[in-house]
Amino acid sequence: MSKMYKSSGELVNHWYAAGQSKAFKKGKPQSVVIFEKPLVIWRMKDGSLTVMLDRCNHRNAPLSEGKVLNDCLICPYHGWTYNKEGKCIEIPSEGPNVDRIPNKKVESFPLKEAYGLVWVWMGKDKSPTSAPFEMPVMKELGWHSYYMETKFSNTVTDLVENFMDVPHTVFVHKGWFRDRKQICIKAKVERTADSVLVSYDQPNDSIGFSGWLVNPKELPMKHTDNFYMPNITRVDYIFGGNERGFIITSTCTPVSPYETMVYTLISYKFGWLTPIAKLGLSAYTRKVINQDVWIMDVHGKNIQRFDETDYHSTQCDFMHLYIESLREYATNADEKSIPEPTVKEIEFWV
Ligand code: FES
Ligand SMILES: [Fe+2]
């Protein structure tokens, strides 16, 4: 079992995005790594998907290099053939002697397709206790959305903190998302049993890509940043009641300790400009995310260079401390005390 999987405690008992639905084509096995566990996913004739460990029971060749025939996966090495339950149904070198097939299945996992993503339940001892995270406003009138896929060289904890972090925007995204004006922002930060919810009091603030597109009427802005255990952030900028808006939902999939795949759903409602906003918006969001890829890369490398963290925090880091407390408790419940529900009022300058 992979070291990361073993040391992740309760964090594995959740749904993790393995990719966008459209990436999994019929007849083509696909390799995916989650918590350092190599998996193979393939699509049946009826469109359903199956996921199992990417390791043949015979001599452990990777099944993802094999072929799909009649909904079965055939190992590329000696042709052992597995059905979607991971049961070996044929060993070519044994001819008709099916009784000689070892009675051991390749381990498989629960899988669901929802909101344009393929989700794998990584829990071993627990069956799914919930549904995959509901991606926002996908079916709501006036909203459009698209996914971005980004590989980051940092941990899930540091990434979700980055996605919830306001002060970095005036440095890492200077001139692109927010410029430094030294305005004071007040916020309420709340920790529940499985989320960290931040609501900002900044009705007159503006973000990035110019007011004329996002908020031409200068409606008051409502900004919330929410983290949902163990790996999802949702950042909302809503203008007026629900007249216009921009929502960034990110789900993080740990590949290895310092490698994380992030699926970012960009949702937007910009009035009559919505249908044509995509082109400019996708270039813009790619530019901004790449700035985070860079800072997360150098940050992650530095943590590894020192082989430990020595963090010091101020008011605007409360949400980060709360995220860390929830994720650390899920990792080592025996060694940590349960994080109590808490609410804090904070203020900081950007
Ligand atoms: S290793 Fe898979 S059939 Fe031999
Ligand atoms: Fe950022």
pLDDT digits (tens, 9 = 90+) for 85-128: 999 999 999 999 989 999 999 999 999 999 999 999 999 878 99
User: Are 178 and 299 in a shared domain?
Assistant: yes
Please give the mean pLDDT across all residues of the chain.
93
Ligand 1 close to Cβ of residue 62 (< 6 A)? no
Quote the pLDDT of residue 287.
95
Atom of ligand 1 at shortest range from CA of 80 = 3
User: Are 220 and 338 in a shared domain?
Assistant: yes
Q: Which residues surround ligand 2, an ion (CB under 5 A)?
A: 292
Residues above pLDDT 90, as percent of the chain: 80
Q: Tokens at residue 253, please?
A: 């999939």
| CATH number reported for the structural domain that contains residue 45 in this entry | 2.102.10.10
How far, in Å, CA of 31 to CA of 65, rounded?
A: 8
Quote the pLDDT of residue 197.
98
121 in Cβ contact with 214 (< 8 Å): no
CA of 32 to the centre of ligand 1 (A): 20
User: Are 57 and 186 in a shared domain?
Assistant: no
pLDDT at residue 198 is higher than 70: yes
Ligand 1 atom 1, closest CA? 59
Q: Is 166 among the domain residues?
A: yes
Atom of ligand 1 at shortest range from CA of 56 = 2
Atom of ligand 1 at shortest range from CA of 75 = 2
Give DSSP secondary structure letters for 222-273.
EEEEEEETTTEEEEEEEETTTTEEEEEEEEEEEEETTEEEEEEEEEEE-GGG
Which ligand has the shortest distance to the CA of 207? Answer: 2
Helices (H) and strands (E) in the chain, counts: 6, 18
CA of 62 to the centre of ligand 1 (A): 9
Quote the pLDDT of residue 214.
74
CA of 58 to the centre of ligand 1 (A): 5
Which residue, 192, 196, 229, 235, is CA-closest to 320? 196
Ligand 1 close to Cβ of residue 101 (< 6 A)? no
DSSP 8-state assignment for residue 140: S
How far, in Å, CA of 231 to CA of 285, rounded?
A: 20
85 in Cβ contact with 103 (< 8 Å): no
How far, in Å, CA of 146 to CA of 58, rounded?
A: 41
Atom of ligand 1 at shortest range from CA of 60 = 1
| CATH number reported for the structural domain that contains residue 300 in this entry | 3.90.380.10
Q: Is 220 among the domain residues?
A: yes
CA of 292 to the centre of ligand 2 (A): 5
List, in order, residues 6 or more apart from 69 with CB less than 8 Å away: 81
Q: What is the pLDDT of residues 207-221, one digit of tens each?
A: 665 566 677 787 888
How far, in Å, CA of 10 to CA of 230, rounded?
A: 9
Ligand 1 close to Cβ of residue 59 (< 6 A)? yes
Q: Is 127 among the domain residues?
A: no
Ligand 1 atom 3, closest CA? 78
CA of 82 to the centre of ligand 2 (A): 44
Helix (H, G, I), strand (E, B) or coil at 144: strand
Which ligand has the shortest distance to the CA of 159? Answer: 2
Tokens 């919930």 correspond to 130
Quote the pLDDT of residue 8.
97
User: Are 200 and 338 in a shared domain?
Assistant: yes
Q: Is 259 among the domain residues?
A: yes
Give the side-chain half-sphere CA count within 13 A for 252.
29
How far, in Å, CA of 107 to CA of 86, rounded?
A: 6
Q: Is 136 among the domain residues?
A: no
Q: Is 152 among the domain residues?
A: yes
Q: What is the pLDDT of residues 28-50, one digit of tens each?
A: 999 999 999 999 999 999 999 99
Ligand 1 close to Cβ of residue 78 (< 6 A)? yes
User: Are 218 and 252 in a shared domain?
Assistant: yes
Count of domains forming the chain: 2
Q: Which of 52, 74, 80, 91 to mutate to test the pocket of ligand 1 (most atoms within 8 A of CB)?
A: 80
DSSP 8-state assignment for residue 337: P
Q: What is the pLDDT of residues 266-287, one digit of tens each?
A: 999 998 888 888 888 999 999 9
How far, in Å, CA of 127 to CA of 134, rounded?
A: 19
Q: Is 71 among the domain residues?
A: yes
Atom of ligand 1 at shortest range from CA of 63 = 2
CA of 171 to the centre of ligand 1 (A): 52
Which residues span the domain enclosing 90?
Answer: 3-121
How far, in Å, CA of 130 to CA of 290, rounded?
A: 32
Which ligand has the shortest distance to the CA of 287? Answer: 2
